[in-house]
């Protein structure tokens, strides 16, 4: 091959390569495929119906047992500590017509709640469906034995010595000074399972049974022989605010007024067969059976029926047709109002809005 012919061939190959590179440079670049956005996953709190994102702090609580504590409600005990972080609170009548709380924490578990007091005869029937843990500071032997005979783990000030769960605060006077670390008490017992669903919940406040079928109220008064629990809707009717014996009822943790999304008022009969030589009659609210109820959510209340077939069964709320009543997602306070003449509930209906005057031409 002659030298010029070889040079010409090299030139053609080089030119073709250059053209290929140029075309590749001009071609549109391939767009990388975007990763699909993962669908968020949620878990539902069994005692409130509130959904929490998987992996959140709140979702982490849901694998733990519930912790119920007997909370003093005497004037000397108020303001109590940690009640605005509860899932459910039962307000029950005790000696002298006063009241005491059974407060249950699960989806939020504080490091300090109280003041914690002694057990009462209705507590085994109230708490057995939840399982979990009950904390209290003493009580009559007969009532403590009744509580110990249930499926609920009993944590008393005596049995928990050295565990770092019970303490005595110096800023309150005994016996109103027992404080419990709910979070530590729950984490100390990973062998105890989480509670099952108790009440039925709607998907939202607007879908709750009372929001759909209830009557708007401006005030709820639940009378006990020597106590008055009062609830009023807040400005946007998303919660009810609590007043106790005519005074705003607050949480010592931050000074906020006690509030709840749902108020359930159960009319109950009272067993007076328990006598005590020191304190006299010790009443027991009968929560096994059936009776009338008021269920309040979204600033409205509706008539309902409550029923509970046995100690282990949850409380069931039904409407006039027999359908289950759906609470709004959120916390619930249950007022165990003694049947008349000892107790009564007074609902003040919210006045209907006056029609706007038509402007004159």
- Residues 230 and 157 grouped into a single domain: no
Domain total of the chain: 2
Residue 201 lies in a domain: no
What number of other Cβ atoms are within 10 A of residue 28's Cβ? 5
Which tens digit of pLDDT belongs to each residue from 40-66?
A: 899 999 999 999 999 999 899 999 999
Q: Is residue 237 part of a domain?
A: yes
Domain that holds residue 164: 44-187
pLDDT reported for residue 8? 43
211 sits in the region (left: phi over 0; alpha: psi -120 to 50; else beta) called: alpha
Would 202 be classed as within a structural domain? no
At residue 357, the pLDDT reads 54
Residue 61 sits in the same domain as residue 130: yes
Q: What is the DSSP string of 277-327?
A: TTTEE--EE--SEEEEEEEEETTEEEEEEEEE-STTSPPEEE-TTSPBPPB
- Label residue 36 by pLDDT band (50, 70, 90): confident
pTM of the entire structure? Answer: 0.88
Check residue 354 and give its pLDDT: 63
- Tell me the CATH number at 145: 3.50.90.10
Distance between first and last Cα of the chain: 108
Share of the chain above pLDDT 70, in %: 87
Residue 359: its pLDDT value, please? 55
For residue 326, give both structure tokens.
């759906």
Considering the domain boundaries, does residue 231 fall inside one? yes
């Amino acid at each position: 091959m002659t030298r010029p012919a070889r040079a010409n061939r090299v030139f053609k190959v080089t030119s073709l390569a250059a053209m290929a590179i140029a075309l590749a440079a001009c071609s549109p670049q391939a767009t990388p495929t975007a990763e699909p956005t993962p669908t968020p996953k949620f878990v539902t709190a069994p005692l409130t119906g509130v959904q929490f994102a998987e992996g959140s702090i709140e979702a982490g609580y849901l694998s733990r047992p519930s912790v119920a504590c007997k909370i003093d409600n005497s004037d000397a005990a108020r303001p109590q500590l940690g009640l605005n972080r509860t899932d459910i609170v039962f307000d029950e009548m005790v000696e002298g017509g006063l009241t005491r709380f059974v407060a249950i924490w699960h989806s939020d578990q504080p490091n300090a709640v109280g003041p914690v007091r002694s057990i009462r005869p209705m507590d085994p029937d109230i708490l057995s469906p939840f399982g979990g843990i009950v904390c209290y500071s003493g009580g009559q032997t007969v009532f403590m034995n009744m509580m110990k005979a249930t499926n609920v783990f009993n944590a008393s000030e005596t049995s928990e010595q050295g565990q770092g769960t019970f303490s005595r605060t110096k800023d309150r006077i005994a016996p109103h000074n027992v404080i419990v670390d709910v979070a530590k008490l729950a984490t100390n017992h990973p062998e105890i399972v989480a509670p099952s669903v108790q009440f039925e919940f709607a998907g939202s406040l607007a879908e709750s049974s009372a929001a759909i079928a209830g009557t708007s109220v401006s005030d709820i008064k639940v009378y006990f022989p020597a106590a008055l629990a009062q609830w009023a809707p807040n400005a946007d009717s998303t919660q009810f605010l609590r007043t106790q014996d005519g005074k705003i009822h607050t949480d010592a943790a931050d000074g906020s007024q006690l509030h709840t999304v749902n108020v359930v008022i159960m009319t109950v009969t009272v067993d007076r067969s328990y006598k005590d030589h020191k304190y006299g009659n010790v009443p027991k609210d009968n929560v096994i059976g059936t009776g009338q109820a008021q269920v309040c959510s979204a600033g409205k209340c509706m008539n309902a029926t409550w029923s509970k077939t046995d100690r282990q069964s949850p409380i069931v709320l039904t409407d006039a047709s027999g359908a289950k009543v759906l609470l709004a997602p959120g916390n619930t306070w249950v007022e165990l109002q003694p049947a008349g003449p000892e107790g009564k509930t007074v609902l003040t209906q919210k006045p209907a809005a006056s029609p706007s005057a038509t402007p004159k031409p």
